[in-house]
Amino acid sequence: AQKVTQAQTEISVVEKEDVTLDCVYETRDTTYYLFWYKQPPSGELVFLIRRNSFDEQNEISGRYSWNFQKSTSSFNFTITASQVVDSAVYFCALKSVDSNYQLIWGAGTKLIIKP
């Protein structure tokens, strides 16, 4: 069965702190794709990153970084030196043959950055 678990329902930190959003996934497929999306208060869903199961390289994009570990089935997202504009709901999602290539979404983590 396909499943994405984002155990942190809500995280609140003070601006400039680093924060990590956890994502744990389950799939029987050996080939799969993982995604992170950001949904700010304005409501739109913004694509952040896609990672293929055969590429375990971590990725850094500015203040954002992603740690993909197949051994623990995790795809965690870290924001360094957080800013108020990072406040949003962040969704982790999975896609594979077993999901008929439809996105399986986590429940989302609401991130609140306080000034």
Partner 1 sequence: AAGVIQSPRHLIKEKRETATLKCYPIPRHDTVYWYQQGPGQDPQFLISFYEKMQSDKGSIPDRFSAQQFSDYHSELNMSSLELGDSALYFCASSQKSGPAYEQYFGPGTRLTVT
Contacts (Cβ under 8 Å, ≥6 apart) of 66:
36, 49, 51, 58, 59, 60, 75, 76, 77, 78
Q: Indicate the residue among 18 and 101 with the shorter CB distance to partner 1.
A: 101
- Pick one of 46, 60, 81, 84: the residue that binds partner 1 (CB under 8 A): 46
> With CB under 8 A as the contact rule, which of the stretches 16-24, 26-34, 65-73, 78-86 interacts with partner 1?
26-34
Tell me which of 3, 50, 63, 70 binds partner 1, using CB under 8 A.
50
We find the least distance from the C-beta atom of residue 90 to partner 1, in angstroms, to be 11
Q: For residue 75, state whether it binds partner 1 (rule: CB under 8 A).
A: no
Q: Is 44 helix (H, G, I), strand (E, B) or coil?
A: coil
Binding footprint of partner 1 on the chain (CB under 8 A): 31-33, 35, 37, 42-47, 50, 52, 91, 95-97, 100-103, 105-108
